[in-house]
Amino acid sequence: MKDMYAFVQPYFKWLWDWSIAHYPESLILVIPLLYMVYRVLLYLRLYITALGPYRGMSTKIYKVVDGDTILVNNPLRRKRRYKVRLIGVDAPESLRSLYQNVAPFGAEASQYVKKRLYKGRRVFLYYDKEPRDKFGRVLAYVYLSNGEFLNATLVKKGYAFAKRYPPNVKNAPYFEKLERKAISRKRGLWQIYTPDGNLKASYKRSQDYKNFKRAHNLG
């Protein structure tokens, strides 16, 4: 990366000098150009730092499973997929399994992630201490090509709980800070969940909850 910055530095200097000499007309050209250069450098930074085998990978979305689990393409084997569990977040369940029932706000969380991670979208995965869990899933922090930290976005907007999964806790304090703000602003799931992660009594008495249980045969 340092070599890349050293390479482009003379061109930035020339562009700066030209902009000063032709101000203010130069703004029409320079501002879009600088924005384009910024996006290219950001993309290259994400791509290069993800290439290390112990750092992560650059890949594309194949499918969203639920609010905190995705399938991505194997960069080296086209027909193989990796199941990826997002680190540090826990979205309400949107799919029934042997271990858990569907939970309120699970469908909303899943739909939000599906909207953001459409098939074929480029993402950058970064590992923490352990790259896989006992189920063989890749454990990762997910970044979009514009630099957005998706794990953090889910907590910030109230689509997932912040949850520690030792030893992968590098960003846990940051996620917990975002969660406190989301709770105070009653964003997303915090409209129906208490700060300790249980459903609010008022929601349990509501017609919405009765309809939810009926729809999912929860008794």
3-state secondary structure the chain: CHHHHHHHHHHHHHHHHHHHHCCCCCHHHHHHHHHHHHHHHHHHHHHHHHCCCCCEEEEEEEEEEECCEEEEECCCCCCCEEEEEECCEECCCCCCCCCCCCCCCHHHHHHHHHHHCCCCCEEEEECCCCCECCCCCEEEEEEECCCCEHHHHHHHCCCCEECCECCECCCHHHHHHHHHHHHHCCCHHHHCECCCCCECHHHHCCHHHHHHHHHCCCC
Angle CA 37–46–132, to nearest 5: 170
pLDDT at 1: 45
Structure tokens at 129: 């201490």
* pLDDT of 32: 74
Distance from chain centroid for Cα 96: 23
Lookup: tokens for 62: 């194949």
pLDDT at residue 192, as a whole number: 98
pLDDT at residue 16 in the model: 66
- What is the pTM (predicted TM-score) of this model? 0.77
Q: Where are the domains of the chain?
A: 2-50, 56-215
For residue 187 the two structure tokens come to 């964003």
Tens-of-pLDDT digits for all 219 residues of the chain? 444 455 556 756 666 676 677 776 666 666 676 667 666 655 555 555 555 555 788 899 999 999 999 999 987 777 789 999 999 999 999 998 878 899 999 999 999 999 999 999 999 999 999 999 999 999 999 999 888 999 999 999 999 999 999 999 999 999 999 999 999 999 999 999 999 999 999 999 999 999 999 999 987
The predicted structure's pLDDT at residue 36? 72
- Quote the pLDDT of residue 141: 97
Domain 56-215 part of CATH 2.30.40.10: no
Instruction: Yes or no: say if 37 and 86 are a contact pair by the CB < 8 Å rule.
Output: no
Q: What is the pLDDT of residue 212?
A: 96
pLDDT (0 to 100) of residue 92: 97
Give me the catalytic one of 81, 137, 164, 187.
Answer: 137
User: Beta partners for 81?
Assistant: 73
85 an active-site residue? yes
pLDDT of residue 64: 98
CB 15 within 8 A of CB 33: yes
